[in-house]
Structure 1
């Protein structure tokens, strides 16, 4: 039984390695998108993964075929499964399921607002969406995104407050706030109850004058 399990595991590793070589063109884009989703520089990802900065740069530019061990270290640092990093070919139909454990979580500085990245990694450069959960009093203080970017916050539970350039608006369950996010903006969970919301960020949107 043990020998059979070892053969299966070796076969799985071999398949993944073959997939890494075949999909190296897509792999570089995936690593880069995941890195940007976490707002990590090449140096920061190198420090967290133990993979040299120069190697990560070569992977993102599709100038090298990384080993399975290298892909595993990067996937661990980016908090996603190795299967997700080795995504399927763009031309193939697919149904992708991300488990709770495989969903990256961003946390606000005060630790009271959590953003689960539920958007598709391939759209991270122009479209991002998150499942937001916040404790009462939680604050998400964000730097400006690209010029023309727009954020949409649809409240499902509780009460949220958004402040942009000194202008404040409040939304309750069933209401949505849309606002320019190419300037400093703050999202607060106000009231006595926890809040839940869906946040969508449209990058490079038409500039509103």
Structure 2
């Protein structure tokens, strides 16, 4: 996550509080969560205190180990949430070639939506998702190649693809322009 704005700093503190609450609800100490997630006890403690900048990969590992949707770590109690492109929470992947912005989360339906950005001439290889998750990606601008298991699919603006994340998948942008996607994840948890 980018810690540059006061708003983002507040979100980092919120994520830490939510993580601590969820961990305690599941009667786990930091050492036990570390063993489940593969994230060090030190890093988990730093996240809970709002002192670190977790990557998408670390957040995926934590959400998967707690059997919760990724965006549950960012949960709010509001009935109305506004997510403007380029404003608010932006989670950046390692290497800064991939970034996501939350658009919507429906906890009851185990579904969440992101706006994703893939930088020119780069690839993104996501962490393994929760078992039996379905991913739906729609290209909002640009052209992208999405590889699901061993099959590659080229998608243009407004094309969509849906697939099970039980295997492997990746996103590659072979162009000189940023690709913008809307991604929906439907969890089977």
- Give the TM-score, by structure 2 length: 0.58
Tell me: CA distance 1:189–1:41, structure 2 relative to 1, closer, same or farther (3 Å): same
Partner of 2:93: 108
2:117 is aligned with 1:153: no
Maintained 8 Å contact 1:143/1:185: no
For the 8 Å contact 2:118–2:124, the answer to whether it is kept is no
CA contact (8 A) 2:139 2:182 kept: yes
- Aligned counterparts of 2:138 and 2:186: Cα–Cα separation in 1: 14
Please state how far the C-alpha of 1:171 moved relative to its aligned partner.
0.4
CA displacement at 1:136 relative to structure 2 = 1.0
Partner of 1:141: 125
* Consecutive unaligned residues in structure 2, runs of 5 or more: 1-19, 26-36, 51-72
* CA displacement 1:130-175 (0-9 Å, x = unmatched): 1011211221101332332111110011011111211100100011
How many Å apart are 1:192 and its aligned residue? 2.3
Aligned-pair Cα RMSD in Å: 3.5
Within-5 A mapping of 1:1-209:
28=21, 43=41, 44-50=43-49, 85=76, 87-88=77-78, 94-98=79-83, 102-103=88-89, 105-120=90-105, 123=107, 126-204=110-188
- Alpha-carbon separation, structure 1, partners of 2:165 and 2:108: 16
* 1:3-50 CA distance string (max 9 Å, x none): xxxxxxxxxxxxxxxxxxxxxxxx946x98xxxxxx896943422343
Structure with bigger gyration radius: 1
- Number of aligned pairs? 135
Q: Displacement of 1:101 after TM fit?
A: 5.0
Whether the 8 Å CA contact 1:108–1:141 is kept in 2: the answer is no
Contact between 1:109 and 1:140, CA under 8 Å: does it hold in 2?
no
Structure 1 gaps of 5+ residues are 1-26, 33-38, 52-77, 89-93
